[in-house]
Amino acid sequence: MTAVTSARGRTEVVNARRTESHDVSGIISLITYFTEKTFGRINVIYLLEKANLAVTLSNEKNEVIAHAAFLDYPNWNIVDQADWESFLHENYSDKKCTPLNTLFMHLFVANNEYVVGCAQEIIRTVFNAVPEAHFILLFVPSHVDLGPGLGTFFERMMSVPGSTVDVDFTLFVCHRHHHCPQLYIRKARVEDHDDLMPIFTHQNEILRETYGEYFLAELIEAQDEKNHAVVCEDDGTAVGFMSVCSEVNIQLLHDCFDLGPFHGLCKPHPDDILKLPQESSIETDEEKSSQTSEEAESVLSQNSECISAHDMDIQMDTKTEDVLSQTLDIVTSHSTTESVQNNVSEEGVNNVSNAELPIDDVIGTDLKAAGTPTLETDERDSFHPVYRGAVTAFCVQLFCIDEKHETRSLDFLQYVFNLFPDKDFCIITVPHLVPEFLLIQNFVRVNPSSNSTLDHELYVFHRAGLLKSFKVRAATTSDTPAVEMLIKTLDLNESVLDDLKVFTQARRDPDGTPVQAFVAEVLDQIVGISVIKNEMDIEYIRSHYNIEDFIYFNHHQQEEHGHLYHFALNPIFHHYTKYFLKEILRLAYKSCLYYPIYPQSVDGKFQNPYAHSLTSALHYMVPVRPRRQIVYPLEKLGINAPSKQVSKDQLSYALNHINRKLMLEPKVCVNARIVVVGASNVGISFLETLIFCPHLKFNNLTLISTHGLPGKNPPGSTNRGFLIHSHCFNDKDYALMSLCSWVNVVVDKMTGIDRAAKHVVVSKGKKVPYDHLVLCTGQQYQVPCLTGADISKLWTNREVIHRCKQRYTGEVPTNLFNLSDDQDCLKAEHWLKENFINSHGNVIVYGNTIDIYSTAQTLLSLGIHGSRIHLVQPPLSSNVTCLNNNAIEKAVKEALSTNDVCVYYDSMLAQWNEGDHPDPITCASFTTNTRPFKLQCTAFFNFSNKGVDYETFKAINDSCLVYDGRLVIDANFHTNDVTIRAAGPLTKFSNIYYANEWTHSNFSSKEIGFQLAAAMLNLFDPTLEPVSEPPEDLDRLIPMYKGCKIQGGVLPGGYNYLHISKPGILTRLDVQITQPNYGMEIITGDATKGNYFRIHVNQYCMVETITCFSKEPFPVSNYVCLFGQHERVLNNLCSRWKEGLIKDLYSYFREPWSMAIYHDRFIDLKKELRQILISSQGDGLPSLDQLVQQLVDGELILSEKPKKYLKRFFQQNIYKRLVEGNILGYLNYNSYHLPMYAWSGIV
């Protein structure tokens, strides 16, 4: 907040922020005749869409006081946007303006009373937000005077003799040094102590508490040739401090971080060992990367040792921050550091950060095609390159700067590099939980090695990174050798070179797609390459991805959408990545870039031609959420179906995006180590929510899962049919997320939790450190505990001890299958095909969950005759069956009987192999309510006794987390450890809530995961308001979630089954129907005929339950959209049913009118319409919401029925017109998805 003062002495407190869409009307209201003379006629919405930076000043009432928009090319279309630099140098005397340090003002408006103060505040804000910018330029028609606002801060730039450009336009310039000057850096003196201590104390008390009152003075006095302390001063006062040291514990860094791209922070030496010996391992991509980096950097390092001041651009973006003293203790070699234990995560760790780190620029692992690399062997895990050369790095031990001068933090680096002329790298380590402050946002984050348990992040900055001669231009044929040298170790380097050749020779692909290639160069040396093509599939992208979360699509021409194919940049210039991308957009006349990531193929090979080369630009792009698609009845729609570009089915991919607006918008990097245990629906939903936060980048997300990430089913696999489907995620959803691009994966099982040391123990004692631990392992089918009854004694169920709560401790038979996920199902399918289908014997399916029916159908579909399948159901633990529908149960029983499948009821498992050695199971004995029986058995599928895995329970219990049948949590997902959260069926609410019947099992797992992520985002997202504590009378209430629960699959007889219901405690359907407030049920078809469709509409006319049972497949995603809708929205469903107009609900919901309800943005339309009805739309006109409240309170006396009065009020006032306008606008804007509707303009 800043106060601006008018010429009359009035003061207004203003807040500078980025411009938002709702500011448009306020900006337009400030446009005057003088504005149009200065800037021309401006389409504000279009300008905001294309601006690199737009700043708004608003007052305490959030009213727009001033606004300015800035782009990276001149206003008034003075010159082609790609050629302005040469134009400026030819026509004006100042030759310092470059695309890196210059912005152009395209619009400035302000309240006339505060115009001078507003102009000053906006200029100051721009220079702070864009530290690289040194000049703001503005072209104005020659006959126009700038006036008192901008004229106070802009000065005229003189043209060169002979130039005629001044005839029409005058160029004005605003210099950074008048607003945010570079700070003076010098050696620290003891007398600086009094200036600096308030800054340290304000930011952190730890240093003073640890090292005493005068630690800073002692540190300054202790300077020698290896230790230096420097300060920055403003007007003679020290406002910042940095302590640097040339002694670095390089061995610790080698052990804990992958320093290959930086040649181990050492000088090249002929005895360096950069890869495993050839006889023990083939050369890996990661090892090749270190060679590439060495070659790329060694050349630059020769030039970087004598860099003059004018070659530097050190005015980079930073933030006030105090790097804690741990830095000193970790990095310097003389410090008292604890030895890092050789505790590795699992062999299957995936290094997520390759999507962000500079190693991407040079290694050959292809993120696009294969996600993240997996380390295969212990040998490869344990290998570290050996560097014999001298250490070429110094470290920052302590850093602090006053908040007012935070953007000048990088002013230190020029000075400290000069203190160590033989060093090429400046390094800094920070604890994981310290937010990534702006100083290190210009450093390169180094990827930790898989065996690192160090609780710090490492950041590196190369001396050459200070160079400001970074230029981007179109590639030429002569660049090919240098580009080939730069990318020679990339797996897809040939693809890059082929596309570069296409550009230099033809400018177009063989299919006619325009191709453009650009190179980045420093000191005439090529350090980066990028190839883009026109995005020819933009209609598909618009209809399948939420790109309109980031752009107004209609303001972008089709040719302005680009497809990023290749992007490689030397890691020491990684901080120029956004500038490289910004220049690509400017030079290529693009406004948006898209980068797809295709899923890994089954055999692990690249999915050409879809594979693009690796891109380190992914960190700066935003992942785009996929859109739920309507399943269209294409034959029924005919010519009214959407175009093939919208409805076509193609290989799914995860989409990443960047546009001009996002170029100067920083991301918040979160280094906190968040470890998720269990790849359950809750865990996947939690991770999905985090990675799709566009302004956050989580660097240390880790998933521990027995089978790794889900979604790896081979095409055509039937194994999913064994288990009933929750419809939370499917293989396509996993492809659209590309979790492997953002999440480390430990393929292992949790066996312990060390809460004191904050790490999870997995198999073989290996450790995964965490800052926040999320447990969502769920429940699995456990090995059934045998009753041990001797059936020769003819025991019945009443005479045996029921041991369902006990744990089986014997040897687990190899032909016993407890299926929990797709990988278990895949193994079972392979085993059946190899050992059972073509042999003799029976398969026993034991349990009373719905999975026994889906498994029976899968067995039948594999070609196993029904007479070999035996369904054995133990006694029910409640009176609610798994199907809870008599009609469907009858149809399933008939189907089982038709297929000769034997079904046994109320049967308890007594023994395997008559009590002998159980592996393998050859027979199984059961007791019943009458006579026991024995079955021959070749395969035993168990679907009874679902519970928490014993090893998981033991890990939880041994770590002293409260466990009471399930892991105990509170309403905010917390366990009794503040750093450990849990969710899903693993958990139960604490007894203080008095709600033991309610657990997360009663709710949608996908919604639970989303809410868990939302609760944790409050810790990391600075844009969120702090969460207030609930009142005392509400802090004992459990949260109630509203998302529907879904079960679906294929049941015996080939029936497709779907059941959608509200969350709640299960009760028998026939009991529910008898309740007076039950509502109404609508049923069409017959279950035995395979056309059964049932809808339950509750007493409030809302759809509460949907049950489908059909021989024909049906669009599940469409039907899920029906849940929670009012029956009137469904084309007056109840009245049509009562009138006998609906004979078949399947046909009814395939009719064209229903397509809008299935649209992913229908919920947004409902919210907009509701907002109209609850808001007053005119002076003195009450809202409909207020009218209803007055009727309820008896404040209105009516001569007609309230419903009739409200309807007449709605129709006679503006509400009806507004509602109709919104609906027509919705249909018009989404016409590419909904062409079957007519809207204004086509009728």
For position 307, what pLDDT does the model report? 31
Higher pLDDT: 494 or 805? It is 494
DSSP code for 709: S
Q: Are 1090 and 869 in contact (CB under 8 A)?
A: no
Measured distance CA(362)–CA(569) in Å, rounded: 8
| pLDDT beyond 70 at 544 | yes
Q: What is the 3-state secondary structure (H, E, C) of 1202-1219?
A: HHHHHHHHHHHCHHHHHH
Contacts of 627 (CB under 8 A, 6+ apart): 543, 544, 545, 546, 1160
Residue appearing with tokens 């049920």: 1081
908-933 in b/e form (b: 16+ CB < 10 A) is bbbbbbeeeebebbbbbbbbbeeebb
Q: pTM for this one?
A: 0.90
Q: Are 1114 and 1120 in contact (CB under 8 A)?
A: no
| In 880-1038, beta strands by DSSP E | 902-904, 908-912, 923-927, 933-936, 939-943, 946-947, 967-969, 980-982, 987-989
Name which of 26, 408, 491, 391 is nearest 239 in CA terms.
Answer: 408
For position 208, what pLDDT does the model report? 64
* Percent of the chain predicted with pLDDT > 70: 88
Q: Is 128 exposed, middle or buried (0-12, 13-18, 19+ CB in 10 A)?
A: middle
| pLDDT beyond 60 at 1200 | yes
Question: 259-263, 333-337, 1130-1134: which has the minimum mean pLDDT?
Answer: 333-337
149: pLDDT confidence band, cut at 50, 70 and 90?
confident
State phi, psi for 109 to the nearest 5 degrees: -135, 150
Over residues 813-835, mean pLDDT: 92
State phi, psi for 779 to the nearest 5 degrees: -125, 150
Over residues 1214-1223, mean pLDDT: 91
Length of the chain: 1243
pLDDT tens, position by position, 41-76 = 999 999 999 999 999 999 988 999 999 999 999 999
Long-range contacts, stretch 196-203, CB < 8 angstroms, 24+ apart: 196/231, 196/238, 196/241, 196/400, 199/239, 199/240, 199/241, 199/400, 199/401, 199/402, 200/241, 200/322, 200/400, 203/320, 203/321, 203/322, 203/400
Higher pLDDT: 297 or 920? It is 920
Name which of 414, 424, 440 is nearest 265 in CA terms.
Answer: 424
For position 1033, what pLDDT does the model report? 67
pLDDT tens, position by position, 841-884 = 999 999 999 999 999 999 999 999 999 999 999 998 888 999 99
| pLDDT beyond 90 at 378 | no
Taking residue 1197's Cβ as centre, other Cβ atoms within 10 Å add up to 6
Over residues 34-40, mean pLDDT: 93
Q: Are 998 and 979 in contact (CB under 8 A)?
A: no
* Amino acid, single-letter form, for residue 1153: W
Higher pLDDT: 585 or 177? It is 585
* Amino acid, single-letter form, for residue 1128: R
Kindly state the tokens that stand for 1074: 């008898």
pLDDT tens, position by position, 610-665 = 557 767 788 899 999 999 999 999 999 999 999 998 988 888 899 999 999 999 99
* Amino acid, single-letter form, for residue 249: N
Q: Are 888 and 1047 in contact (CB under 8 A)?
A: no
* Amino acid, single-letter form, for residue 884: N
For position 438, what pLDDT does the model report? 85
Measured distance CA(1219)–CA(98) in Å, rounded: 51
For position 1185, what pLDDT does the model report? 87
Over residues 759-771, mean pLDDT: 91
DSSP code for 626: B
Name which of 558, 548, 538, 733 is nearest 643 in CA terms.
Answer: 538
Contacts of 860 (CB under 8 A, 6+ apart): 866, 869, 899, 901, 1052
DSSP code for 1181: B
pLDDT tens, position by position, 344-359 = 222 222 223 322 223 2
Measured distance CA(968)–CA(1044) in Å, rounded: 24
Q: Are 427 and 396 in contact (CB under 8 A)?
A: yes
For position 672, what pLDDT does the model report? 95
For position 877, what pLDDT does the model report? 85
C-alpha angle with apex 390: 387 to 394, nearest 5 degrees? 110
pLDDT tens, position by position, 514-539 = 999 999 999 999 999 999 999 999 99
Taking residue 533's Cβ as centre, other Cβ atoms within 10 Å add up to 20
Measured distance CA(458)–CA(255) in Å, rounded: 12
Question: 206-215, 413-422, 929-938, 1090-1099: which has the minimum mean pLDDT?
Answer: 206-215
For position 1238, what pLDDT does the model report? 86
Over residues 495-521, mean pLDDT: 93
739 — alpha (psi -120 to 50), left (phi > 0) or beta?
A: alpha
Q: What is the mean pLDDT of the chain?
A: 86
Whether the bond into 920 is cis, omega within 30 of 0: yes
Measured distance CA(962)–CA(968) in Å, rounded: 6
1180: pLDDT confidence band, cut at 50, 70 and 90?
confident
Q: What is the 3-state secondary structure (H, E, C) of 923-953?
A: EEEEECCCCCEEEECCEEEEECCEECCHHHH
State the sign of the Cα–Cα–Cα–Cα dihedral 1030, 1032, 1038, 1040.
negative
Whether the bond into 609 is cis, omega within 30 of 0: yes
Measured distance CA(471)–CA(292) in Å, rounded: 22
Contacts of 554 (CB under 8 A, 6+ apart): none
994 — alpha (psi -120 to 50), left (phi > 0) or beta?
A: left
For position 418, what pLDDT does the model report? 94
Over residues 695-706, mean pLDDT: 94
pLDDT tens, position by position, 13-29 = 999 999 999 999 999 99
Over residues 1010-1039, mean pLDDT: 84
Residue appearing with tokens 């759809």: 1103
